């Protein structure tokens, strides 16, 4: 059976088609988030079907996750990112005991038992300082691509200390640091460290190894280093980390008689 | 098994007419719930889901008419005592005297939620120098001055010492603005050290004799002040009689909690249970009516359990809830997402325990006051939570926080760590402001994740 998982995140929508029989991802893709997220998700879904040479009748079920999961009405199930990232990472790396996911508007630390079951989790969604939103703000302020920040951070010799707990105030602080002539690389690395520190505080005292980093922020150079430094443990990046949630959603679909055509 | 639908306010309009046609008998404060929106601007009711029973209607009407009741009491010549911070002990004393009604002015912290901030109390408190970094209890500051939410008390009694910092600041600001306050001190509870005599307190706690004696002396002062207000000495006989009635209230609530939380599915929603539990600390300014309301609710719940009629499906995840919420909507949300309450610690567990009746009354009350979870360590509070989670087969724990409430700044994490360590069940901490509409998606995500996680853990 083939299942679809859609992760409607705050920054982008990710989707995966998964062949349960062969335990194989058939197609995956990503599109920027927008106001009409159901339409965007549907377009992405159609594209993946086309890429995989499938039609809707061959899809046995669709599950949605992410903050916009309830808006994806053609999905038969809506599941939280906690469950989906846990299932996704367990499929990809069964030895994982901790998952760190830094999303556009929240961040999560998920503790897993042997067998992949969620033991406990913590989420930060009240403060942007521990989320990808902080990086976006910096990228916007510096008029550069979000991805470019990682490359710049690699050049840092002495990361700046961002002392403000709030992104709004931190923005002022960053402007001040740059105005004082602090190297850009050090400022960006300082922002990464600040995010990592927030996530580490979220994780609390109990973080078991191996730790896997999922979500799009895991792709940014420097973020893994920042997390490893604050946690004092190695952090592994999940394969294609931006799709872990969507994969987990696909793995969470329970076969139903309802076809996806019925919901569209 | 039957699952009853909870009602919106609109649906309650129809239900009320139906009940009236069937001969509903109501107390003097009865009437349709709608009037609290139209007349009192309790707009939040429009966003809530209610139990459909006449017993629940009576509970809500009782809760939402306290201001009227207090004004009526004053008109009849009753003395009104505002008791603050201490949760549950001073009202037992006040109601032991004839012609005295006690209430909690600090209960005004729920007003911004009920009125969806249309009361402007929080903004007015800010203008009085107590801003959003303080607990919503700050709403009582302007409420004391504008007289719209409760009548000005004849005597204000407030505990000090082991109370949260922000409450202390707010109460002091109140005093500085001219409100006379009778302060009594309660020390932070500690364990007896070597050489000290240990006194057993309710709730499996203990304290050194010297602390109990200190609180007893303070309560003697409170008793004297109450007696002077009432024009009658508050003697041991009157206090003992008051304790017996308070214990009757507590027994009824405990039976209600036991029935609801141990039933195979919830026979009463979390929201009505929260409101019902809160009555035990202050009797909503009418102790006898509180007893009648508990009896009504208990009868309804027992009948539902007998008929196998519930309000939440049996597969709902059993959640233990710690601390009251600033926005009542959160209690509905948990149930909408597949959870049910199986136990609670709304910060006044000492008011659930019976006041010892085999001790001199003030000694018994002193021991009860010292068992207050907020005057002891977070570790002791967590231990009780762990015990009750085990007894009630909790599958998950929610620790809710009220923004700015400093007494729980660190407590939440301590409780969660101890619960995780001893029970291994998932826990979350939620910060819920007085109106949480903007946060509903993220609150919902967290609660849904908790429910999913707990449910997944059912399968080995």
B400 close contact with A: CB closer than 8 A: no
B133 close contact with A: CB closer than 8 A: no
pLDDT in tens, A74-92: 999 999 999 999 999 999 9
Looking at the partner chain, which of A119, A121, A206 has a beta carbon nearest the beta carbon of B449?
A: A121
Q: Which of B107, B93, B98, B63 is nearest to B78 (CA)?
A: B98
| Interface with chain B: mutation pick from A69, A78, A79, A80, highest number of B CBs within 10 Å | A80
pLDDT in tens, B198-245: 999 999 999 999 999 999 999 999 999 999 999 999 999 999 999 999
Local confidence pLDDT in tens for the 460 residues of chain B: 788 789 999 999 999 999 999 999 999 999 999 999 999 999 999 999 999 999 999 999 999 999 999 999 999 999 999 999 888 899 999 999 999 999 999 888 889 898 998 989 999 999 998 888 888 889 999 999 998 999 999 999 999 998 888 888 889 999 999 999 999 999 999 999 999 999 999 999 999 999 999 999 999 999 999 999 999 999 999 999 999 999 999 999 999 999 999 999 999 999 999 999 999 998 999 999 999 999 999 999 999 999 999 999 999 999 999 999 989 999 999 999 999 999 999 988 989 999 999 999 999 999 999 999 989 999 999 999 999 999 999 999 999 988 877 665 678 888 999 999 999 999 998 988 888 888 888 899 999 999 999 999 997 6
For chain A, the residues whose C-beta falls within 8 A of a C-beta of chain B are: 67, 79-83, 106, 117-123, 125-126, 204-206
> Which value, in Å, is the radius of gyration of the alpha carbons in chain B?
21
Q: What share of chain B is helix, strand, coil (3-state, %, to 5)?
A: 55, 15, 35
A and B: number of Cβ contacts within 8 A: 51
The span from the CA of B254 to the CA of A6, in Å, is 46
Instruction: Please give the share of chain B, as a percent, with pLDDT higher than 90.
Output: 80
Q: Residue B73 to residues B28, B62, B68, B292: CA-CA distances in angstroms?
A: 14, 15, 9, 19
Q: Where are the beta strands (DSSP E) in chain A?
A: 2-8, 12-19, 24-32, 59-65, 77-78, 98-102, 107-112, 118-124, 211-214, 235-237
Contacts of B420 in chain A (CB under 8 A): 120, 206
């Amino acid at each position: 059976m083939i299942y679809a998982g859609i992760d409607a995140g705050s920054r982008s929508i990710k989707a995966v088609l998964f062949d349960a029989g062969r335990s194989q991802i058939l197609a995956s893709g990503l599109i920027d988030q927008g106001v009409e997220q159901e339409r965007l998700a549907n377009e992405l879904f159609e594209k993946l079907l086309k890429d995989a040479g499938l039609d809707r009748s061959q899809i046995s079920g669709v599950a949605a996750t992410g903050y916009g999961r309830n808006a994806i009405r053609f999905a038969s199930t809506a599941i939280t990112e906690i469950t989906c990232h846990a299932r996704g990472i367990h499929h990809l790396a069964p030895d994982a005991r901790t998952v760190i996911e830094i999303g556009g508007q929240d961040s999560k630390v998920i503790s897993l038992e042997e067998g992949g079951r969620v033991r406990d989790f913590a989420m930060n969604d009240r403060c942007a300082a521990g989320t990808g939103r902080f990086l976006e703000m910096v990228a916007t302020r510096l008029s550069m691509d979000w991805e470019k920040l990682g490359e710049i951070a690699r050049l840092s010799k002495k990361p700046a200390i961002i002392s403000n707990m709030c992104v709004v105030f931190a923005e002022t602080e960053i402007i001040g640091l740059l105005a004082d002539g602090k190297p850009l690389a050090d400022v960006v690395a300082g922002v990464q460290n600040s995010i990592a520190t927030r996530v580490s505080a979220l994780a609390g005292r109990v973080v078991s190894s191996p730790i896997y980093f999922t979500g799009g922020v895991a792709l940014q150079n420097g973020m893994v280093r920042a997390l490893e430094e604050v946690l004092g443990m190695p952090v592994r990046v999940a394969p294609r980390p931006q799709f872990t949630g969507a994969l987990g959603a696909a793995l969470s679909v329970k076969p139903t008689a309802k076809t996806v055509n019925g919901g569209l | 098994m039957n699952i009853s639908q909870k009602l919106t306010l609109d649906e309650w309009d129809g239900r009320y007419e139906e009940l009236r046609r069937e001969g509903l008998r109501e107390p003097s404060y009865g009437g349709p719930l709608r009037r609290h929106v139209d007349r009192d601007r309790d707009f939040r009711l429009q966003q809530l889901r209610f139990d459909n029973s006449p017993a629940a209607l009576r509970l809500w009407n009782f809760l939402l008419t306290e201001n009227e009741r207090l004004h009526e009491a004053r008109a009849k010549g009753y003395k009104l005592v505002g008791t603050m911070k201490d949760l549950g002990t001073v009202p037992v004393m006040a109601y032991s005297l004839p012609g005295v009604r006690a209430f909690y002015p600090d209960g005004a912290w729920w007003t911004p939620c009920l009125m969806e901030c249309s009361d402007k109390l929080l903004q007015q408190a800010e203008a009085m120098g107590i801003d959003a970094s303080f607990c919503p209890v700050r709403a009582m500051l302007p409420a004391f001055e504008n007289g719209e939410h409760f009548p000005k008390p004849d005597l204000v009694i407030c505990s000090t010492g082991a109370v949260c910092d922000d409450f202390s600041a707010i109460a002091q600001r109140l005093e500085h603005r001219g409100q006379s306050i009778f302060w009594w001190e309660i020390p932070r509870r500690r364990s007896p050290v070597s050489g000290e005599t240990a006194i057993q307190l309710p709730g499996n706690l203990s304290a050194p004799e010297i602390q109990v004696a200190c609180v007893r002396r303070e309560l003697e002062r409170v008793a004297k002040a109450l007696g002077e207000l009432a024009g009658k000495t508050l003697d041991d006989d009157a206090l003992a009689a008051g304790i017996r009635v308070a214990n009757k209230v507590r027994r009824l609530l405990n039976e209600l909690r036991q029935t609801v939380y141990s039933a195979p599915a919830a026979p009463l929603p979390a929201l009505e249970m929260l409101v019902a539990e809160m009555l035990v600390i202050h009797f909503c300014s009418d102790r006898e009516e509180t007893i009648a309301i508990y009896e009504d609710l208990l009868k309804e719940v027992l009948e539902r359990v007998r008929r196998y009629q519930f309000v939440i499906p049996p597969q709902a995840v059993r959640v233990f809830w710690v601390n009251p919420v600033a926005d009542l909507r959160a209690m509905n949300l948990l149930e909408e997402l597949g959870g049910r309450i199986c136990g609670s610690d709304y910060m006044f567990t000492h008011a659930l325990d019976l006041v010892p009746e085999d001790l001199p009354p003030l000694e018994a009350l002193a021991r009860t006051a010292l068992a207050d979870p907020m005057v002891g360590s977070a570790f002791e509070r967590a231990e009780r939570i762990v015990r009750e989670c085990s007894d009630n087969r909790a599958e998950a724990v929610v620790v809710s926080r009220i923004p700015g409430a400093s007494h729980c700044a660190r407590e939440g994490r301590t409780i969660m760590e101890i619960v995780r360590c001893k029970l291994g069940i998932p826990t979350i901490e939620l910060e819920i402001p007085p109106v949480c509409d903007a946060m509903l998606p993220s609150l919902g995500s967290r609660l849904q994740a908790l429910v999913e996680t707990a449910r997944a853990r059912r399968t080995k």
